[in-house]
Structure 1
Amino acid sequence: MRGFHELHLAAAFGTADEVAALISETEDIDVFFEGRTALWQAVNARNHVSAALLLAAGADPARPMMSGWSPARLSLATDHPLPTTEVLTQQERAAIAERDRLVAALAGVPEFDGYSIACVAGIDADEAVRRLEAEVLPPGEVPAQLDWWEEPFADDTEVVVGVTDVPGGCVVVQPWSYAASLPVVTRPLSAGTVTYSMYANPKSGNQGSIDRDGAAVDRDLLPGGRSVEDDGTAGVFLAHLYVHEPIAYCCAYTGLRPENPRAFTGPDRWVLLPDRIRWDL
């Protein structure tokens, strides 16, 4: 019998044939791997064909796991709910509605790698610029929208970021590199509040970080990716809602409510970070 983690991976990302073959080789269809069953994986990944195959093979949709999120209860947030007597709370239903609104609002953000962002709760762009000790650049010196400067790795380019007000806080973005996600940027921004930053690393995928009150809370996170049981009831649900939506996840975590993609595609202002930040590049 092959390792049970293969079934869990196939349930999330595999084809119907792959899942069916692994089901036939599995003695316990509800075996846990990293705190969840294969059915939970299928529901979380919206792999509805795999979920149907696992249910037909006897997988238990009501089995408790992941901080109270059984596969059946988790499925209530998808377009293919499983039969269940469980219900979502009013707050959870509101979170689903906000997810739908937020994902639609950010639909104009191009899909590419190499950018970095910091979503900052509770402060506006003016305060962000002050905390960063940054210099606002004149309009004639701003880079083309989501494009490279003539010298994309020139010294000044590496320490230029865009800053934009959005409902709930502000967004710092660097379309071409990782400066917006550096601790030397996110720590001062998080004083008295919280930031969720991300670098879309072309080599290793999205790398998320949380800072609160001027100190790191967590690093090497995967926004828009997998959740862990230690995230708690609300954290597991938030990760599920924003699977494959990393930018929206960063906004949702910090309570930002952008109404359009402008903060990520055409920032209100471009600023030059101070020389001390160059040492962290």
Structure 2
Amino acid sequence: MTAQETAGWSDFSWNSWKDLALVQARLDAGADPNEGDYFFERPLHAAAERGSPEVVAELAGRVDDVDAECEGRTALWVAVFNDQPENALALVAAGADPWRPMMAGWSPGRLSLAGPTPGLFFPFPPGHTGLTEAETATVTEAERLIGALGDIEWDGFSLACVHGISAAEAIQRLAAVPADEEELEEIMEDPSEEDALRFIGVTDVPGGCVVSQQWGYMASTPVVMQTLSAGTVAYGMYANPKSGNQGSVYRDGEVMEWDGHPGGGDVSGDDSAEEILLKYLYDGHAEAYCFAGAGLRPTSARAITDPDAHLRLPERDYWH
């Protein structure tokens, strides 16, 4: 039996969902259009995210319900969230409802108002709310913030974005002391030195402050995040060169999220309306997501690339 004659979706790659002939062959061989090989993804949802409009239309014509939900969202919602307007229109042509309530009040139509194609489902029907003033401001700030930070093209750094406290307060909370300039120069020449992890940067930014480390994970370790987030909220991340961005959220010293994917579109049905909007707007922009989550409004990436001050942390276990 050839690959195209195999029933099922188990060996489908990312680009397979763009191949109409391959999808038709699988369907004709008995592949179920309603169920995928993973509980968290239906074939139509997969095609809506990364397929072609032709494949989306083919699957939409064969499923039992074009608005069937998977993990709280329809295929149309997935198409909108992943900025696939042609796939979204193919689903609407097949009967999908842009205004079906889901995901903390973000129907596909309402979510589209925050994206690059806000007129996708116009005319706006009666009885459905648009963006609030606060949500509109969040959309505007996302565009500004992403542009201000630009592209940070290196890995291995970490940061903690902390709302509402100054750099001076962060230094006091961490019991850090100013770094010796000569020792710091040696560390920056060879960040692999064993003592390098104890050196961090700190910078005041509008809305709070940022603790950062250009060569390691220390700024996002549990003890640093717990200490900084007392009475407030902190968003942290480590740009792990081996496994990708690792994010965390702490509120008042308690971990709210650990080993997440900041700016990675990892949306949960348990997320608040505000969090879903942030994850949509900052998909693919991990650093900007952390700044925005903590309510910080930097004008550049200087807090990561050239912090105001360098400090030495006291010796202790920063993981427990």
TM-score, normalization by structure 1:
0.90
Matched, 1:226 2:266: yes
Q: Which residue of 1 aligns with 2:166?
A: 124
- Structure 1: distance between partners of 2:189 and 2:257: 36
Determine which structure has more spread, i.e. the larger CA radius of gyration. 2
1:140 positional shift = 4.5
Q: Which residue of 2 aligns with 1:176?
A: 215
Matched, 1:112 2:154: yes
1:251 positional shift = 1.0
Matched, 1:136 2:175: no
Among 38, 54, 63, the alignment partner of 2:75 is 38
Among 100, 105, 111, the alignment partner of 2:143 is 100
Aligned residues with identical type, % of pairs: 49
| Secondary structure in structure 1 of the residue aligned to 2:289 | helix
- Structure 2: distance between partners of 1:196 and 1:143: 28
Q: Cα deviation per residue 1:225-257 (whole Å; 9 max; x = unaligned)?
A: 222121122222222221112111111111111
Range 217-226 or range 89-98, more displaced: 217-226
Range 176-185 or range 12-21, more displaced: 12-21
Among 129, 153, 164, the alignment partner of 2:192 is 153
- Structure 2: distance between partners of 1:249 and 1:184: 21
Q: 1:54 to 1:143 in 2, by over 3 A?
A: farther
Matched, 1:57 2:65: no
1:163 positional shift = 0.8
Contact 1:120–1:194 (CA under 8 A) maintained in structure 2: yes
Q: 1:28 to 1:214 in 2, by over 3 A?
A: same
Q: 1:6 to 1:141 in 2, by over 3 A?
A: farther
- Which structure is richer in relative contact order (CA contacts within 8 A, separation 6 or more)? 1
Q: CA RMSD in A?
A: 2.1
Range 221-230 or range 94-103, more displaced: 221-230
Counterpart residue type for residue 260 of structure 2:
L
Counterpart residue type for residue 88 of structure 1:
L
1:215 positional shift = 2.3
Matched, 1:74 2:116: no
Among 261, 266, 272, the alignment partner of 2:306 is 266
Counterpart residue type for residue 190 of structure 1:
S
1:46 positional shift = 0.9
Query: Structure 1: where are the runs of 5+ without partners?
Result: none
Q: Which residue of 2 aligns with 1:248?
A: 288
Q: How many residues align?
A: 276
- Structure 1: distance between partners of 2:284 and 2:76: 19
Counterpart residue type for residue 122 of structure 1:
G
Q: Cα deviation per residue 1:86-125 (whole Å; 9 max; x = unaligned)?
A: 4111111111111111111111x41333221100111111
Query: Structure 2: where are the runs of 5+ without partners?
Result: 1-31, 37-41
Q: Cα deviation per residue 1:45-102 (whole Å; 9 max; x = unaligned)?
A: 1122221222222211111110111000000011212223341111111111111111
TM-score, normalization by structure 2:
0.80
| Secondary structure in structure 1 of the residue aligned to 2:272 | helix
| Secondary structure in structure 1 of the residue aligned to 2:209 | strand
Range 245-254 or range 51-60, more displaced: 51-60
